[in-house]
Structure 1
Amino acid sequence: MANIGVQMMMLKDQVAELGMYPVLEKLKELNIASVEVSQIPMNEENVAALERAISELNIEVGALSVAFGPSAAPGTDNLEDDFDKIVADCKRLDVKYTRIGMMPFQAMTSKEATETWAAQVEPYAARLAAEGITLCYHNHHVDLHKFGNERIFDIVRRVAPSLYFEVDLHWVQRGGMAPLDMLKEYAGVCKLIHVKDFRVTELPAEAMELFTAGDFMKGYEKFVNIVEFAEVGQGNMNWPELLPASEAAGAEFFFIEQDMTYGRDPFDCIKDSREYLTSIGW
């Protein structure tokens, strides 16, 4: 059965305040088996804390985030400048997967731009593979956009065959493709999964105020934008079918992720998500 973990982007502020190891202790108490490190500096202090957690808490580091080139995310190692460090960190922490969270926005603007970006990434993915490390690409809704008859996802796969996928099922849903169809179509390529629910909120009061005032178009904008990132089990996604399908597609890690928690403590959100997953047999 795939390993249930957490995307630590959710806890970057807590790591900055409390330190890496105390945060990992809290995750262990919530029955979290692994972590994916993102938006948290991979400095010696944090790497040592992860190494300690592997030994003392039996928490696995499932994946490390990397950028292709210099990144706006503070402390994120990149393949161009930090390749040897990335490999060393993976070997030190026994990590088999690295992941790129998003391609540059410019690379999404045309088929040629996507092809150029994928061609630049492919040699690094192949070099990592030679070290026993799989590089994955994490999707958003835009990756289901088609240039002609080819999705951005498909262009990446064609041009960068050494690059595998981290499938974010919420963003697949938001992108207009049935997540079960995505998992079938890309079976064997999906190594990591982001487990994140898709919640439609109630009609906001601001929309009704705008409708009442006669401003239909602004009210309609409020009406169509009522999607939230949700705790697992508190949205509309069919997890009892999606999780086995994800495993059948080749996924080894399921990382709970919630981009926004809307004022809730992220530990509480993770607790709710983990308890729901336990309730359905995971």
Structure 2
Amino acid sequence: MVTGNFGVQMVMLKGEIEEQGIYNTLKKVRKLGYKFIEVANFPNIDNLMELRRVCVYLGIEVASLGTVVEPLILNESRTLLINIEKIVVDCQKLNCNLLQIPILSPHAFIDDEAVQNFFYHVDDLAQKLLPMGITLYAQHVHRQSSMLEELSWLNRIYNNTKYLHFGLDIPGYRQGCENLTTYSKAYEGRVAVTRIKGLDYDYSKGIDVGATNENYHLNSILDACTASGPKFFFIGQEEPYRNDAFTCLALTAAKLKQLGFLNWFN
């Protein structure tokens, strides 16, 4: 069995960071056995160096940073099309070689030409970043729409790009997991990371998830995903939250270890 690494989606700790600060928050994350973090929202200039200092001190690694391709708001400059050099420098400062962009919904494009331009731009950026040691990946985020529709859109992006990688989001229900497992095998070599939901609650059943985790099929999912290339699996929460973030992370770590993934923690 290929070994991966469990990490934490920092977006689930936004409230904790605001209340307790980045040091105290990450100290608790490290104490729970998690060494890697995903920073989906790109750090601003003021807190980037603080994040670096805290991570070095606590022995935490920023495995993935997030950015956008084009400005989403007026005068936004920290985008790949405007300031790719600066973003690369920031990644290098944090020793991070994974850069995440969101996958836009197909409904966000006005016509097919806009879709093709999107494919061209992101794949060109991905090709430019590779010699710099950075893998650009588009993060799939499961929504409440049809899973088959989501995967069809993913498949179209995959077939129209060559260098762009993917982050897959595993929802906590059977049909979606089985479909996504199939797709992760098909995308072998181009899956950068995988996101999984916290195991403190099964939202499809409304009951606690047992240690055997039969509904979630987690063992087969992780086997398929590791075979596809990623070594990072970031844990997050799904609203409405049943537990606070740290309780979710603690219960999830305990159940993952019960399932045989002890060596995926550091």
Q: TM-score interval w.r.t. the shorter chain? A: 0.7 to 0.9
CA distance in 2 between counterparts of 1:250 and 1:68 reads 24
**In 2, Cα distance between equivalents of 1:180 and 1:94:** 30
* C-alpha distance in structure 2 between counterparts of 1:122 and 1:48, whole Å: 30
CA distance, structure 2, for counterparts of residue 60 and residue 130 of structure 1: 21
Aligned position for 1:114:
115
**Which whole-Å deviations, capped at 9, do the CAs of 1:246-273 have from their partners, x for residues lacking one?**
1111111010011325252111111111
1:139-150 equivalence runs, <5 A: 139-141=140-142, 144-145=148-149
| Counterpart selection for 2:25 from 23, 36, 40 | 23
Report which structure shows greater RCO (CA 8 Å, sep ≥6).
Answer: 2
Contact 1:68 / 1:121 at 8 angstroms: preserved in 2?
yes
Deviations 1:166-200 (A, max 9, x none): 11121896658523212211111112010126631
Q: How does 1:72-83 map to 2 (within 5 A)?
A: 77-83=78-84
For residue 20 of structure 1, report the CA deviation from its aligned partner: 1.7
% of aligned pairs identical?
Answer: 28
What is the aligned partner in structure 2 of residue 207 from structure 1? none
* Alignment match, 1:272: 251
Unaligned runs of 5+ in 1: 203-227
Instruction: Output the CA distance in 2 between the equivalents of 1:194 and 1:233.
Output: 20
* 8 Å Cα contact 2:211/2:259 also seen in 1: no
Provide the residue aligned with 2:99 in structure 1.
98
Partners in 1 of 2:56 and 2:194 — Cα distance? 25
Distance 2:172 2:243 in 1: 21
Alpha-carbon distance between aligned partners in 1 of 2:168 and 2:162, rounded to the nearest angstrom? 16
CA contact (8 A) 2:173 2:216 kept: no
Residues 172/235 of structure 1: CA separation in 2 closer, same or farther (3 Å cut)? closer
Could you tell me how far apart the structure 2 residues matched to 1:111 and 1:51 are?
A: 41
When residues 111 and 151 of structure 1 are mapped into structure 2, their CA distance, relative to the original with a 3 A threshold, is farther
Deviations 1:211-255 (A, max 9, x none): xxxxxxxxxxxxxxxxx9x89987821112222221111111010
Secondary structure of the equivalent of 1:42? coil
- Structure 2 residue 241 is the aligned partner of structure 1 residue 281: no
Q: Give the alignment partner of residue 250 of structure 1, picking from 204, 218, 229.
A: 229
Distance in 2, Cα, partners of 1:85 & 1:233? 46
Output the CA distance in 2 between the equivalents of 1:3 and 1:125: 24
Which residue type is aligned with residue 238 of structure 2? D
Q: Aligned residues, how many?
A: 250
What secondary structure sits across from 2:63 in the alignment?
Answer: strand
What is the CA RMSD across the aligned residues, in angstroms? 3.1
Change (3 A) 1:232 1:104: farther
Which of residues 226, 230, 239 in structure 2 aligns to 1:260?
239
Whether the 8 Å contact between 1:169 and 1:195 is mirrored in structure 2 is: yes
User: TM-score with structure 1 length normalisation?
Assistant: 0.77
Q: Deviations over 1:73-108 (max 9, x none)?
A: xx9942123322210111011111011133156446
**Retained in 2: the 8 A contact 1:9–1:38?**
yes
User: Would the aligned equivalents of 2:194 and 2:232 in 1 still touch at CA under 8 Å?
Assistant: yes
Aligned residue identity for 2:158? R
Give the letter aligned to residue 183 of structure 1: S
SS class of match (2:167):
strand
The answer to whether the Cα contact below 8 Å between 2:99 and 2:134 also exists between their aligned partners in 1 is yes
Give the partner amino acid of 1:170: P
CA apart distance, 1:134: 0.3
State TM-score, norm by structure 2. 0.81
Counterpart residue identity of residue 82, structure 2: D
Tell me, which stretches of 5 or more residues in structure 2 are unaligned? Answer: 262-266
Contact 1:66-1:76 within 8 A present in 2 as well: no
Which residue is 2:264 aligned to? none
Offset at residue 112 of structure 1 (A): 4.8
